[in-house]
A = this chain, B = another copy of it.
Amino acid sequence: MRIITLLTDFGHADPFVGIMKGVILGINPRAQIVDLCHGVSPQDVLEAAFLLDCSYQYFPKGTVHLVVVDPGVGGMRKGLVAEGRHGYYVAPDNGVLSYLFASGEIRRVVEITAEAYLLHPVSQTFHGRDVFAPVAGHLSRRSGIDRFGQATARSVRLRLPVPAKRGSRVLVGSILHVDRFGNLITNISGRQISALHPERGITVSIRGQTMRGLQQSYDRLKPGETGAILGSAGYLEIFANQRSAARLLKAGRGAAVRVEARGRRRRR
């Protein structure tokens, strides 16, 4: 019994996700299908790439991750199957696997061309149903990605938003994702903060507001107070205890975040 996860921007108002599951179960009745997330902002490939990177490690080895955030459906973009150290990935070739390429997770990539594995006639608007779900279903029955097409080394990679260094003690990053609670997840990792050697702590600034230090838990602050914390995916997060930091700070995806390490006390 193999797990297949689904990560899409299909939302929950349509039967798109349900139909994909029907196709998968028609191919592999024993597949264990898990909804990873269907709330990716429409056509937001970078957001999906980030959410996938935060998630895949928590699934058993060999899990097949099916990603359908696909603004180029029906056009010239290719379809991919990738074999990673930890899992398998089936996705359009639009950069949605970029974080996995960057981290070294992905080892081999094949471009989907084998018509025998697709649902015919292939539609112009729903390759999740006609291309990616069938390939994931077949892959969950039997490992090995080569039967789906030719190996390729030229797949699309997004330019990932990395924090900029300003001198030895300052990083300027940005908000990558706003979660359901209004927490603002940045692209600044705990490791990058440590590299600033913050012996006397840090300050975090966003939208003209500056917060001191990293909190140990949300509830260390009073309800509605904003602070910074190391989030569950290893990235710096801005939060407001029991409130939405996004709303309080009027900040969203792309907003700039500045981290400054406080130096040793200067002698006068």
Residues of chain A touching chain B, judged by Cβ–Cβ distance below 8 Å, are 1, 3, 5, 7, 9-19, 21-23, 25-26, 29-30, 32-39, 42-43, 51, 54-55, 58-60, 63, 71-75, 123-126, 129-130, 177, 179-181, 215-220, 229-232, 237, 241-242, 244
| 11 A-B residue pairs with CB within 8 Å | A12-B39, A13-B179, A14-B39, A15-B54, A18-B37, A19-B55, A22-B55, A22-B60, A33-B34, A124-B215, A125-B217
Most B C-beta atoms less than 10 A away, residue of A18, A37, A73: A18
9 tightest A-B contacts by CB?
Answer: A74-B217, A126-B232, A13-B39, A18-B36, A22-B59, A11-B180, A75-B217, A22-B58, A15-B37
> Do B242 and A51 touch (CB < 8 A)?
no
Per the bound structure, the CA–CA distance linking A224 and B232 in Å amounts to 36
Chain B residues lying within 8 Å of A126, measured Cβ to Cβ, are 231-232
Known: A72-B219, A124-B217. 15 other contacts (CB 8 A): A5-B18, A10-B180, A12-B37, A13-B39, A18-B55, A19-B36, A19-B55, A22-B59, A25-B59, A42-B181, A74-B217, A75-B220, A123-B231, A125-B217, A130-B232
Q: How far is the CA of A184 from the CA of B207 in the complex (A)?
A: 38
* Minimum C-beta distance from A202 to chain B (A): 16
Q: Which residue of B lies closest to A124 (CB)?
A: B217
Q: How far is it, in angstroms, between the C-alpha of A17 and the C-alpha of B38 when the chains are bound?
A: 11
Residue pair A26, B60 in contact (C-beta under 8 Å): yes
Pair A22/B38 contact, Cβ less than 8 Å = no
Contact of A12 among B1, B12, B72 (CB under 8 A): B12
Shortest distance from the beta carbon of A95 to any chain B beta carbon, whole Å: 14
A58 and B124: CB pair below 8 A?
Answer: no
Instruction: Check A74–B216 contact: CB distance below 8 A.
Output: yes
Interface centre among A43, A60, A71, A232, by most B CB within 10 Å?
Answer: A232
* Chain B: CB-nearest residue to A33: B34
B22 and A71 form a contact (CB under 8 A): no
Task: Please name the residue on chain B nearest to A27 by beta carbon.
Answer: B60
Q: Could you tell me the distance between the alpha carbons of A14 and B11 in the complex, rounded to whole angstroms?
A: 11
Closest Cβ neighbor of A126 among chain B residues: B232
Chain B residues near A75 (CB-CB < 8 A): 216-220
Residue in A5, A15, A55 whose Cβ sees the most chain B Cβ within 10 Å:
A15
- Cα of A21 to Cα of B59 in the assembled complex, Å: 8
A121 to chain B, nearest CB (A): 10
Residue of B nearest to A178 (CB): B13
Q: How long is the Cα–Cα vector from A34 to B230 in the complex, in angstroms?
A: 30
Given A59-B26, A216-B74, A15 contacting B42 (CB threshold 8 A): no
